[in-house]
């Protein structure tokens, strides 16, 4: 198989109608300036593969930028947070893959899924693998093996059949070249006749449908090479002894039409015994619906017919988990559970615009453990909400005892920072450091707590309190102030920063001031310890230039009992960008204010800064 590399011109022609075309143009410029040779070519090819599937600026931009060395902060600033998150996930996957020799393919698959909460990242990873397989010459067997053992099951479970078939054939070609070549040569011999037979069947069915005045689409296709190879193995025969290499799909408008078409086709061709499945009357466990029937023509040609509605076809083909238990793919309850978003997506898609679907879908699931990585990509398994303290003790007791600072994804974080799947954690030790009693409130694992107790020579059970963390805080803290630099709200991950001996300010964990502060000044804290306080939030609003629009926005804020502390606005290219600092009594009010402002005519975007 020969492939022509995508070019900037071809990609732009494909995405010219994309909603965020300017974002894609900017990403193309950055990619062109920061990548060269093979990397740039792979970025273009990946974006080109993705475009027909997800013509959205964020994911296409991520495809073009994730291999650059542009920092996360710069991407967030120059593009947006969504693009940045996709890139961070892809970079984590690349880091994990680089250490594939350290663990099994099954483990790698689980780590990738655990790391990837956004389904778009998985689709991006699949497109990247397809691009690499099409063009690779170096380490192609290693790549093909990862694709076969890790990414093919994922693509099948997601129902991305077009990508799956090509990944199958490309990895088959590399890993079993001799068998691939035999099938290819044999299929080439009879290709003209096979195409002729398929066109004849298509023509006959179309003619019959027209006669019955049924508006339906008829699509014929031959089986892919890897599918043929599996059939040969199953039937223990040679390729020239297989007869069911042709397939026809009929897509109509209603379920009633499906059964009318079934009766029509059965009257035209001879149905084969024990080769009929009605997945409309009895849908598969994963919601797959279609009628399957094998038939024989007058000349003895055998083909499979699939009959379904347009809705069923969308569910089965356009990125939904149509039939991952089909064809004996190994069942993995944890994996399948994580992809249950698809059924929700089907229902949501009926009520909303299809183009918005992938902006809201997350692989939401409750993990029993998380996978974190050392800078050398060694895997450390931890419970949910584990902290760098747990990570340090999981490596070695001495590392834990001397844990002074922690970096997560190359950023300094407090020692009470909650780790997430795929985080790359670096522990910075100091011989002057020694475990603190407060660490017992931070640690989540039994191992870490046991080692801390041992180092502190704590024996027996300590007197339990309802909230030990709060008692420690009461002794240390005289007054608490919410920081104005990042305006955290309940629900945000926070940390405390000592300003004087008994005073602290509350910041978001991601606040720039926290990241550049001496970690020794940071202390663990949670919202329960703070109590009820008036909260301040900053929102940014982009609007058109419209008379009285500012008054309408202010009315919306005041109507929900929000207090405007300050506001500023600037106008550029007939667009107005405004910032409002608002004081509220609870975070729910901010959410309601944002929702109300979004409904105002002339408002383009509302975000909490």
CATH architecture of the domain with residue range 370-456: Roll (3.10)
Backbone angles phi, psi at 524, to 5 degrees: -65, 140
Q: Name the pLDDT band for 573 (thresholds 50, 70, 90).
A: confident
Per-residue pLDDT at 342 exceeds 50:
no
- Residues 127 and 46: their CA atoms lie apart, in Å, by 5
CATH superfamily, domain 183-318, is Beta Polymerase, domain 2 (3.30.460.10)
Tell me: the pLDDT tens digits for 531-555? 666 778 888 888 887 766 777 888 8
Lowest mean pLDDT among 54-63, 362-371, 435-444, 530-539: 362-371
Q: Residue 490: count other Cβ atoms within 10 Å of its Cβ.
A: 15
- Residues 186 and 271: their CA atoms lie apart, in Å, by 27
Collect all residues with Cβ–Cβ distance below 8 Å to 223 and sequence separation of at least 6.
231, 245, 246, 247
pLDDT the model gives residue 318: 52
Lowest mean pLDDT among 90-99, 179-188, 353-362, 595-604: 353-362
pLDDT the model gives residue 319: 45
pLDDT the model gives residue 395: 92
Query: Which of left, alpha, beta for 491 (phi over 0: left; psi -120 to 50: alpha)?
Result: left
Q: Name the pLDDT band for 4 (thresholds 50, 70, 90).
A: confident
pLDDT the model gives residue 547: 63
Per-residue pLDDT at 467 exceeds 50:
no
The domain ranges of the chain are 8-160, 183-318, 370-456, 468-530, 535-608
pLDDT the model gives residue 345: 38
Mean pLDDT computed over every residue of the chain: 79
Fold of 535-608: Alpha-Beta Plaits (3.30.70)
Question: In this structure, what DSSP letter does residue 239 have?
Answer: G
- Residues 138 and 132: their CA atoms lie apart, in Å, by 10
- CATH code for the domain defined by 8-160: 1.10.3210.10
**Cα dihedral angle (330, 332, 335, 340), rounded to 10 degrees?**
100
pLDDT the model gives residue 502: 60
pLDDT the model gives residue 409: 85
Tell me: the pLDDT tens digits for 160-213? 777 888 999 999 999 999 999 988 888 887 778 888 889 999 999 999 999 999
pLDDT the model gives residue 535: 77
What pTM does this model have? 0.58
pLDDT the model gives residue 280: 92
Q: Please state the rounded mean pLDDT for residues 566-570.
A: 73
CB 508 within 8 A of CB 493: yes
């Amino acid at each position: 198989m020969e492939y022509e590399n995508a070019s900037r011109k071809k990609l732009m022609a494909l995405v010219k109608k994309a909603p965020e075309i300017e974002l894609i143009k900017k990403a193309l410029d950055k990619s062109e300036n920061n990548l060269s040779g093979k990397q740039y070519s792979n970025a273009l090819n990946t974006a080109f593969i993705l475009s027909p599937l997800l013509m959205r600026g964020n994911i296409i931009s991520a495809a073009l930028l994730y291999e650059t060395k542009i920092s996360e902060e710069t991407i967030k600033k120059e593009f947006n947070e969504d693009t940045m998150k996709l890139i961070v996930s892809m970079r984590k996957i690349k880091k994990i893959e680089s250490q594939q020799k350290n663990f099994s393919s099954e483990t790698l698959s689980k780590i990738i899924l655990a790391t990837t909460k956004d389904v778009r990242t998985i689709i991006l990873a699949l497109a990247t693998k397809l691009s690499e397989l099409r063009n690779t010459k170096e380490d192609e067997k290693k790549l093909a093996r990862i694709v076969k053992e890790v990414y093919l099951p994922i693509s099948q479970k997601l129902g991305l059949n077009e990508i799956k078939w090509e990944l199958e054939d490309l990895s088959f070609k590399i890993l079993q070249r001799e068998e691939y070549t035999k099938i290819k040569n044999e299929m080439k011999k009879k290709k003209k006749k096979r195409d002729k037979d398929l066109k004849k069947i298509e023509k006959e069915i179309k003619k019959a449908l027209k006669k019955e005045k049924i508006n339906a689409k008829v699509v014929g296709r031959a089986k892919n090479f890897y599918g043929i190879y599996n059939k040969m193995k199953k039937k223990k025969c040679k390729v020239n002894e297989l007869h069911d290499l042709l397939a026809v799909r009929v897509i109509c408008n209603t379920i009633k039409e499906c059964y009318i078409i079934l009766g029509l086709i059965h009257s035209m061709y001879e149905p084969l015994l024990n080769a009929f499945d009605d997945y409309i009357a009895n849908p598969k466990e994963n919601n797959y619906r279609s009628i399957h029937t094998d038939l024989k023509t007058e000349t003895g040609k055998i083909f499979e017919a699939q009959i379904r509605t347009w809705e069923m076809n969308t569910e089965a083909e356009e990125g939904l988990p149509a039939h991952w238990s089909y064809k004996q793919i190994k069942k993995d309850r944890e994996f399948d559970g994580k992809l249950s978003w698809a059924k929700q997506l089907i229902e949501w898609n009926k009520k909303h615009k299809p183009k918005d679907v992938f902006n809201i879908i997350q692989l939401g699931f409750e993990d029993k453990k998380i996978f974190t990585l050392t800078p050398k990509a060694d895997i450390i398994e931890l419970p949910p909400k584990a902290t760098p303290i747990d990570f340090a003790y999981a490596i070695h007791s001495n590392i834990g005892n001397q844990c002074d600072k922690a970096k997560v994804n190359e950023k300094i974080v407090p020692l009470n920072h909650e780790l997430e799947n795929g985080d790359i954690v670096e522990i910075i030790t100091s011989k002057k450091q020694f475990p603190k009693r407060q660490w017992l409130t931070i640690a989540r694992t039994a191992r870490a707590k046991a080692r801390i107790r041992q180092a502190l020579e704590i024996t027996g059970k300590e007197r339990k309190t309802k909230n030990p963390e709060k008692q420690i805080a009461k002794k240390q803290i005289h007054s608490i102030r919410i920081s104005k630099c990042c305006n955290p709200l309940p629900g945000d991950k926070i940390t405390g920063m000592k300003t004087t001996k008994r005073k602290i300010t509350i910041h978001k964990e991601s606040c720039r001031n926290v990241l550049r502060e001496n970690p020794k000044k940071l202390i663990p804290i949670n919202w329960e310890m703070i109590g009820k306080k008036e909260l301040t939030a900053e929102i940014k609003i982009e609007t058109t230039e419209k008379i009285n629009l500012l008054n309408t926005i202010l009315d919306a804020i005041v109507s929900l009992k929000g207090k405007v502390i300050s506001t500023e606005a600037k106008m550029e290219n007939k667009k107005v960008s405004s910032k409002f600092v608002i004081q509220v009594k609870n975070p729910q009010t901010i959410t309601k204010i944002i929702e109300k402002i979004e409904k105002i005519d002339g408002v383009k975007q509302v975000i909490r800064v």
